[in-house]
Amino acid sequence: MDLVGACRAFVSVSERGSFTVGAAAARMSQSVASRRVAALEERFGEQLFERTSRRAVLTPFGREMLPVARQLVQSADVLLHEAEAAKRKPWRLAVPGICSTAGLARLVADARGHGITLDLRVAAPAQRLELIHAQQVRAALLAVPADEATWSVPLGLAGVQDPGVRRVYLETLRVGRAAPGPARRIWIQPEDDVPHIRDPLTRLRDAVGLRPAQLVAATDLTTAAAEVLSTHDLLLCSPAQAAELALKWRPIGEITLGRGFALAAAADGNPQPIEGRLGGAIARCLGADTRADTEEGTQA
């Protein structure tokens, strides 16, 4: 038996003294109201109304039960209202700065289509983790190693000129002491300045004999991109970022690198509503739907 529905019919009929009028006020048919009240009476083992041809009059037992039934209906209404308010509460989500404005806008729009309101906070990897720990966001897309990732984004090297090869090997950037001109550098943007990306790249730099200064961690993506656009330097980035900057992207020859992302929630949150409904939209925003094994690279 629907106890709340039955009490709602009981309260509405009692307040109006009529099954017809009370049922209409409760937005149900007279037959439904009658069945619900009858079920309630059967459950209690006592009649709630003295029924006449024109009116429904409360019995003494019905008068005793009415205040409690009214309280139950009011509590149920409050519960339903709070549930709707909770669903409309914005999800403050910390996201990486690699996402384009268009990508973030599409993510927010897709979320609205699923009944989720997103409040995005763009932050660097370490800051996103801090925001979660401080519970300043309900969830965050954290940078994680590939084996812990829900979404993975391939990384490679991009430059202004077409390298003319299918992969770029770091050993080809090695220069002799007498070589003219500055050595070509690889710029790491803040999103990739994390141990599971930076450390393997640093070890490879040393293994192939590059100079320490040939691997540079930039303070921001704009600075790194500007250096690459005005020199022969290379940017460690995703195919989507390379396309946005009109750069020629290729995988790294010696190792496979990728950004890994996983959704984490603050202590009082549950990321499943977002991950379950918006997994595809998040992948598109991150560029994770790009084939990781692409050999041709992204062309301008």
State the 10-residue block means of pLDDT for the chain, 300 residues long: 91 92 92 93 92 85 94 90 73 91 93 88 94 92 93 96 95 77 91 96 96 94 95 95 95 95 83 84 82 38
User: Rounded to 5 degrees, what are φ and ψ at 246?
Assistant: 60, 40
Q: Reduce the DSSP state of residue 155 to 3 states and report it.
A: strand
Query: How buried is residue 190: exposed, middle or buried, by Cβ count under 10 Å (0-12/13-18/19+)?
Result: buried
Assigned CATH for 3-84 = 1.10.10.10
Please give the pLDDT value at position 179. Answer: 60
Please give the pLDDT value at position 175. Answer: 83
DSSP code per residue over 231-260: SS-EEEE-HHHHHHTT-EEEEBSS--EEEE
Domain ranges of the chain: 3-84, 91-144+266-285, 151-258
User: Rounded to 5 degrees, what are φ and ψ at 137?
Assistant: -135, 160
CA dihedral defined by 172, 177, 179, 185, rounded to 10 degrees? 50
Please give the pLDDT value at position 181. Answer: 66
Taking a C-beta distance cutoff of 8 angstroms, is the pair 194, 260 a contact? no
What CA–CA distance (Å, rounded) separates 290 from 284? 8
Task: Name the token pair of 24.
Answer: 């209409």
What CA–CA distance (Å, rounded) separates 120 from 84? 21
Please give the pLDDT value at position 218. Answer: 95
Half-sphere exposure of 163 (CA within 13 A, CB side): 26
Specify the pTM. 0.67
H helices of the chain, in order, are 3-16, 19-25, 30-44, 60-88, 101-113, 125-133, 195-207, 221-230, 239-244, 272-286
Taking only the tens place, the pLDDT of each residue in 182-216 is 899 999 999 999 999 999 999 999 999 999 999 99
Evaluate the CA torsion angle 203, 145, 122, 228 in order and state its sign. Answer: positive
Taking a C-beta distance cutoff of 8 angstroms, is the pair 22, 33 a contact? yes
Q: Each residue of 60-83: b (16+ CB within 10 Å) or e?
A: eebeebbeebbebbeeeeeeeeee
Please give the pLDDT value at position 116. Answer: 85
In CATH, 151-258 is 3.40.190.290: yes
Chain position carrying tokens 């925003």: 285
Please give the pLDDT value at position 291. Answer: 38
